[in-house]
Amino acid sequence: MTDGLVVGTSGNVSVRVGDTVLVTPSGVPYDRLAPHDATGVDLDGRQVLGTLVPTSELPMHLAVYRADPDARAVVHTHAVHATAVSLLVSELPPVHYMTAALGGPVRIAPYATYGTDALARAMLDALADRTGCLLRNHGTVTYGDSLDQAYDRTAQLEWMCRLWLTAASVPGHTPSLLTPEQLAEVTERLGGYGQRS
């Protein structure tokens, strides 16, 4: 909440532990959540932990876990800059090399009503070969092999959306974009980025 990625009860988070998906409950403000509020479902969506109703966006979370067995966390937000970009283009232009960290230019899934299988299907199409996408008139979805990674991807995506909106708003100028070749070079470099274990 302090990063401005969610407002009130908008957005949701999940983590997969084995065949159980721990997910935020529906309609509970994040600053009021406590450990005993944990809600868990199996990969078919049957509740196996807790008494609170899981997020209405459960179909999106489960769709990611079913599509990519390596996915361990999903973050969905209604971040303002990313949502604004979803209203304007069909793909976030590659304005920064961190585009490569999400698998390439970030696609925008067509609008579908929240919480529906139609939205989950549209999201999966936009996520093909990517770890993040925007949802038209709605927000963001990112995933990763840990909650930290999924959250960091969300924060990077929001930052890139803010960057593009800022640059694109300067009259008489068009933002410089990275080429596919430049993104491919970054993708290769990212493979060896960070500390060695």
Residues labelled catalytic: 57
Amino acid code (one letter) for 150: A
**What's the 3-state SS for the chain?**
CCCCCCCCCCCEEEEEECCEEEECECCCCHHHCCHHHCEEEECCCCEEECCCCECCCHHHHHHHHHHCCCCCEEEEECCHHHHHHHCCCCEECCCCHHHHHHCCCEEEECCCCCCCHHHHHHHHHHHCCCCEEEECCCEEEEEECCHHHHHHHHHHHHHHHHHHHHHHCCCCCCCCCCCHHHHHHHHHHHCCCCCCC
Backbone angles phi, psi at 169, to 5 degrees: -85, -5
Tokens standing for residue 58: 């459960």
Tokens standing for residue 66: 């079913």
Residue 73 · residue 143 · CB < 8 Å: yes
